[in-house]
Amino acid sequence: MINLSNPSAIEPEIRQRVQQHLVFVIHSHTCLKRDQENANRISSGQPPRHPPCHLEHCDTFKQLLRHMFECRLGPICSTKYCSSSRKIMKHWKECRDVECVVCAPIRAAQT
Ligand SMILES: [Zn+2]
Ligand SMILES: [Zn+2]
Ligand SMILES: [Zn+2]
């Protein structure tokens, strides 16, 4: 299991996987909100505000996020990526290290 309390100790290969994972989770989170907004508009007879997302793996991650919203098992859940995503998201939300080897490049890419 990955340990995110000391990101600079993570092997570069694994770090890269964690970053990719994080980028997808962040995207899918935004994407889910857009889908919801579109659905609301369509149901009130308006055109959708956001173009459909064609990003590879996005649907997979959206499914995962939907699962995570409802999952009550937390760390012991055996659903693929559930507990690891939780860990990664928790780190991302709580990380205050501006030079964090995991978060800093993603923050830089987002702005
Ligand atoms: Zn998407
Ligand atoms: Zn779960
Ligand atoms: Zn970090």
Q: What is the average pLDDT across 6-16?
A: 93
Per-residue pLDDT band for 87 (boundaries 50, 70, 90) equals very high
Tokens 């064609």, residue?
54
pLDDT at 31: 96
Which ligand sits closest to the CA of 6?
3
Which ligand sits closest to the CA of 88?
3
Q: How many CA atoms lie within 13 A of 42 on its CB side?
A: 9
For residue range 22-81, list pLDDT tens digits in order.
999 999 999 999 999 999 999 999 999 999 999 989 999 999 999 999 999 988 999 999
Per-residue pLDDT band for 1 (boundaries 50, 70, 90) equals low
pLDDT at 3: 82
Closest CA to 68 of 56, 80, 58: 80
Q: Spell out which residues have Cβ within 5 A of ligand 3, the ion.
A: 95, 100, 102-103
CA of 62 to the centre of ligand 1 (A): 8
pLDDT at 110: 81
Q: Spell out which residues have Cβ within 5 A of ligand 1, the ion.
A: 31, 53, 55, 58
Domain covering 13-47+54-110 in this structure, CATH number: 1.20.1020.10
Which ligand sits closest to the CA of 95?
3
Which ligand sits closest to the CA of 76?
2
